[in-house]
């Protein structure tokens, strides 16, 4: 199959690419993968706290979306449709993972460009933040990421999660409180 | 879809946390390649094959210790049951002249090729429509694979040979609108839409 490298990621609309895939040009799906890999990969890594788990969930979501592409009623909004699938996969993986003991691997959160003035302090802060995030309940972590990191409105969050707006607001509020408490403890405040 | 959170002043601490979490992450450089390879695979190719995962008990390897006497007794019992079943087989048992609709990769894992087919009749009562089709895990959700027939006014039906298992399905009304079966339980699909669920039990001799 054709890989995403070199494909015109920006030129075709999602609907046009989806139409090509449904017409039998399965290699065009690589455009979709390349288009959404980074944004949704970030969400998966933040949700699951591990690059390996995140890549598995992301791959699973892309494959499921591909096999159900004909059910995407509005191909121009492939992104939100796909995000719902991914959120489901991450929730399932997160719930399953939280049942077993797990050691956080700080490298999973090692990010690009550690060029800050105090790289050691910065790295420690990132590690503590990542650890605190993983200590949130799956529901709270999901709501926090959707609201504050992905910057979605509550109506969109409700569509993705299938949870009511008021419940989501409560989850976000509790997630913020807990993060504040966990990170405040770390900073010795 | 994206909504800059402007409706309320953001907490500086939460904003600092969010900014950190918005930074890009690294994925495997071969991620796209693996996804594209997985599209044609019967199951998702594991990205990290070296990782230890616990296998479901149905496919896990079991160690069973049995004495030779027990094996002899078990063999005799199997022989008696097999002869009895042969003699008592129903005359109208469905012969597998029909090809089973098993949905390829989507066939539930509980099914095995050895289990006999069971013909299940799907029925929906819907007036004032022009076409109805059945889609589900058994036909890869192909809305052209299993059209239904209006056998009397408003009564649409189709009979499908299935192997025992649990299947999700929907109806396609007039080629576009998806509906669930009001007569059976529903589950939420990965895509948020409700699917009907039918359980096909093994045929009783």
Q: Can you give the CATH number for the domain in which B166 is found?
A: 2.60.40.10
Domain ranges of chain A: 1-101, 116-189
* Length reported for chain A: 189
Counting Cα atoms < 13 Å in the Cβ hemisphere of B103 gives 26
Per-residue pLDDT, A117: 54
B162 located within any domain: yes
Per-residue pLDDT, B65: 61
CA distance, residue A127 to nearest chain B CA (Å): 11
Residue of A67, A129, A152 with shortest CB distance to B17: A129
| Residue of B177 and A5 predicted with greater confidence | B177
Q: What is the DSSP string of B93-162?
A: PPPTTSPP---GGGS-TT--TTSPPEEEEEEEE--S-S-EEEEEGGGTT-TTT-B-EEEETTEEEEEEEE
How many structural domains comprise chain B?
Answer: 1
pLDDT, tens only, A109-168:
443 333 445 677 778 888 899 999 999 999 999 999 999 999 999 999 998 998 999 999
Q: Domain A116-189 maps to which CATH number in 3.90.1150.10, 1.10.10.10, 1.10.1040.10, 3.90.420.10?
A: 1.10.10.10
Q: Enter the DSSP assignment of A145.
A: I
Counting Cα atoms < 13 Å in the Cβ hemisphere of A161 gives 26
Binary contact (A3, B37; C-beta < 8 A): no
Q: How far lies B165's CA from each of A70, B197, B203, in Å? A: 25, 10, 11
Binary contact (A70, B141; C-beta < 8 A): yes
Lowest mean pLDDT among A149-163, A164-178, B90-104: B90-104
Per-residue pLDDT, A5: 35
Asked if residues B151 and B90 have their Cβ atoms less than 8 Å apart, the reply is no
Spatial distance between the Cα atoms of B114 and B97, rounded to a whole number of angstroms: 15
B91 located within any domain: no
B145 located within any domain: yes
**What is this model's ipTM?**
0.81
B120 located within any domain: yes
Per-residue pLDDT, A139: 93
Asked if residues B143 and B175 have their Cβ atoms less than 8 Å apart, the reply is yes
Q: Is B203 on the interface with A (CB under 8 A)?
A: no
For residue B118, the enclosing domain spans 104-200
Lowest mean pLDDT among A151-165, A174-188, B9-23, B94-108: B94-108
Per-residue pLDDT, A121: 77
Per CATH, the number for A1-101 is 1.10.1740.10
Lowest mean pLDDT among A76-80, A139-143, B161-165: B161-165
B78 located within any domain: no
Q: Is B86 on the interface with A (CB under 8 A)?
A: no
């Amino acid at each position: 199959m054709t890989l995403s490298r070199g494909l015109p990621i920006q030129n075709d609309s999602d609907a046009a690419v989806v139409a090509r895939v449904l017409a039998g040009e399965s290699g065009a799906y690589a455009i979709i993968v390349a288009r959404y890999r980074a944004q949704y990969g970030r969400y998966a890594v933040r949700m699951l706290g591990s690059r390996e788990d995140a890549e598995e969930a992301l791959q699973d979501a892309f494959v499921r979306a591909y096999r159900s592409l004909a059910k995407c009623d509005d191909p121009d909004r492939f992104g939100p449709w796909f995000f719902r699938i991914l959120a489901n996969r991450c929730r399932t993986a997160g719930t399953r993972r939280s049942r077993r003991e797990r050691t956080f691997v700080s490298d999973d959160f090692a990010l690009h460009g550690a060029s800050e003035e105090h790289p050691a302090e910065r790295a420690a802060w990132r590690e503590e933040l990542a650890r605190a995030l993983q200590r949130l309940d799956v529901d709270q972590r999901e709501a926090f990421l959707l609201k504050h990191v992905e910057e979605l409105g509550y109506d969109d969050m409700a569509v993705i999660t299938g949870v009511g707006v008021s419940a989501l607001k409560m989850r976000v509020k509790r997630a913020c409180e807990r993060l504040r408490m966990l990170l405040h403890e770390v900073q010795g405040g | 879809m994206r909504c800059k959170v402007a409706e309320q002043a953001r907490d500086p601490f939460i904003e600092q946390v969010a900014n950190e979490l918005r930074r890009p992450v690294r994925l495997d450089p071969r991620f796209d390649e693996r996804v594209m390879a997985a599209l044609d695979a019967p199951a998702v190719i594991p990205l990290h094959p070296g990782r230890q995962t616990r296998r479901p008990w149905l496919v896990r390897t079991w160690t069973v210790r049995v004495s030779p006497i027990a094996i002899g007794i078990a063999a005799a019992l199997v022989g008696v049951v097999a002869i009895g079943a042969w003699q008592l087989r129903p005359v109208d048992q469905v012969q597998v002249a029909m090809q089973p609709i098993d949905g390829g990769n989507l066939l539930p894992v509980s099914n095995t090729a050895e289990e006999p087919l069971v013909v299940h009749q799907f029925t929906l009562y819907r007036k004032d429509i022009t076409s109805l089709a059945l889609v589900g895990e058994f036909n890869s959700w192909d809305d052209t694979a299993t059209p239904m027939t209006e056998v009397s006014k408003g009564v649409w039906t189709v009979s499908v040979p299935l192997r025992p298992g649990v299947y999700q399905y929907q109806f396609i009304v007039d080629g576009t609108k998806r509906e669930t079966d009001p007569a059976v339980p529903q589950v939420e699909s990965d895509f948020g839409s409700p699917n009907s669920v039918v359980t096909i039990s093994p045929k009783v001799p």
